[in-house]
Structure 1
């Protein structure tokens, strides 16, 4: 029996299939506000049949943006700007989700469209924060090390942004704790050399992420995902065995699914890519931590995606670049696999 096009229920939300749009930064917002680009970009993937459409890394605070062009959700104005986007996604039969994020020491950088390195204050940048004062690379801005009060403020911001997200119509909240952004910076021994309660031991490094997830879980009733980097791909960094323990703790704090990616925390990592190269990480976390997972990374073929879910390596597959190439990939995949899935009435004259 085909599994890719079967529903997945998490808490009170049911995804119509196991295909999700991975959150992908568009670097197209102004003052954090999404616009027509985001409506069309995300909406077209919902029309294309993805069961879950996750909006890009969206900052819980202005200083948490990767670039000045990132989206945000730090005010009621931002909530209201997201409403029509979430509403359109839901109207197509897809579930709208959003990834909440803080870029940490990788904040205040130029978007890929505009340059590279850190953005100066005079050009619209700001001072980033991190676990220490060490920048990601020399070309980035030097961060201020967060104190415990600053950490508590960011925990509260994640919770408030989650509330606004639900008010905007999002039905899944993902906490970004991967790719070298703030929560990953605290998780990894490569970037967290603190000796206080938020550093030192593995338990100390995990504390910030657990507090965020617990706060988000207390703030909303919808499913909460957490994206992690299962491996730092660098000696002395996080390994998949570490991430199994991290995932187990995150689930205990209220996470319903772990979105398993990798890398991003140090510039010199040697990452061995290839088709489905991160799927073994998702499978290890799923089986050893006994928590639902999503697999992501060079998943491009319908039968490949079906096999991942059918084999129990993951409960959900997230596609990024492949859905940029073809927003209607899910409809094509259904045809290729011989599955039945709804097609918009306006497109039924077309054979996918």
Structure 2
């Protein structure tokens, strides 16, 4: 069985271990441009010894932002700003870099969480959200505008352009965001998709647009670069008109046939009616079910906080990787501590080798650190 500190090969990319820093929105960009905050935030996380760092959900268009302060990759200015971040990360760390590309759909034009997270009206600095159907996320909100087929083609082109920019910037991998109630998940879920054309109704039709976007991105980037998809395995809404684990497995099977390199298995986000049984590792069973049924590498997420917990997930075959968010915000050196606890090794900057407590030098595969 795999070990938390074993390498994993995804196409032309080799990860040195199975620990991923999960994409975490920072709501700290300026017109989509990365700022000094991104350098400070990502620089800290890049030094922690994880196998891969995935940048936050990055909007493929201006109207695809979740909030006015979300990171974007739709313009030359966005690309130039992010280039400075990537260059800094490459100079400081050998960590593999991925980027998550997404479109917020009907959840766009929202305030940052610390400002309440509610829909921002157009006359207050917001914009018109777009969606599969004119159904609001919350009943008290104005409805989004339903997308035309021509607009779907334009947004697909936006994904391709953003992926092309990501390749040009030197990212090692790309993840498409089809979870958490954002646009691609909205197409999948009957809660948000009530279309009566080729993109709505049956599961075949509801999968059509996300699969088209995946196909277009996969065709646009070099074959050596892995492309994964984050999914919400269930809407956590107990009625027939919701997205379920069985449907996720069907979607994953279709993605596997098209060459997907991993499935990052999360859940929820499309409805305020969701009932999520939150607890340690509460989504791991979803990743396990997808892994067993679909047969592609999976990423487990959701309150994975302890080294032995992560080790058991990987060694027990429940998932191939674990992605940590809040745990690494609280402790950016989580992977160091995990290696110390589990007798593993991770990559660490030589400038920090002397920081390890006595007897823990093997964390970096070093036995001495001398000066003269």
Q: Which residue of 2 aligns with 1:351?
A: 356
Match of 1:228 among 203, 225, 231: 231
Distance 1:140 1:254, change over 3 A: farther
Give the Cα separation in 1 of the matches to 2:43 and 2:256. Answer: 30
1:141 to partner: Cα distance: 4.0
Give the Cα separation in 1 of the matches to 2:30 and 2:115. Answer: 14
Q: Which residue of 2 aligns with 1:164?
A: 165
User: Is the 8 Å Cα contact of residues 194 and 200 (structure 2) preserved in structure 1?
Assistant: yes
Largest Rg, 1 or 2:
2
Q: Which residue of 2 aligns with 1:50?
A: 50
User: Is the 8 Å Cα contact of residues 305 and 327 (structure 2) preserved in structure 1?
Assistant: yes
Deviations 1:79-134 (A, max 9, x none): 12112322333441111111001000000011112234211223321101001111
Residue aligned with 1:57, SS: strand
Give the Cα separation in 2 of the matches to 1:134 and 1:239. Answer: 20
Q: Which residue of 1 aligns with 2:302?
A: 297
What TM-score do the two structures reach when normalised by structure 1? 0.97
Alignment partner of 1:243 is 2:248: yes
Give the Cα separation in 1 of the matches to 2:228 and 2:94. Answer: 20
Q: Structure 2 stretches of 5 or more lacking a match?
A: 358-372
Q: Which residue of 1 aligns with 2:324?
A: 319
Q: Structure 1 stretches of 5 or more lacking a match?
A: none
Q: Which residue of 1 aligns with 2:290?
A: 285
Count residues with an aligned counterpart: 352
- Equivalence map 1:1-352=2 (5 Å): 3-91=3-91, 92-221=93-222, 222-234=225-237, 235-236=239-240, 237-351=242-356
Give the Cα separation in 2 of the matches to 1:160 and 1:289. Answer: 29
1:296 to partner: Cα distance: 0.3
1:341 to partner: Cα distance: 2.0
What TM-score do the two structures reach when normalised by structure 2? 0.92
1:211 to partner: Cα distance: 0.6
Give the Cα separation in 2 of the matches to 1:263 and 1:175. Answer: 16
User: Is the 8 Å Cα contact of residues 226 and 257 (structure 1) preserved in structure 2?
Assistant: yes
- Higher mean alpha-carbon deviation, 197-206 vs 113-122, is at 113-122
Deviations 1:113-167 (A, max 9, x none): 2234211223321101001111101354421101111111111110110000111
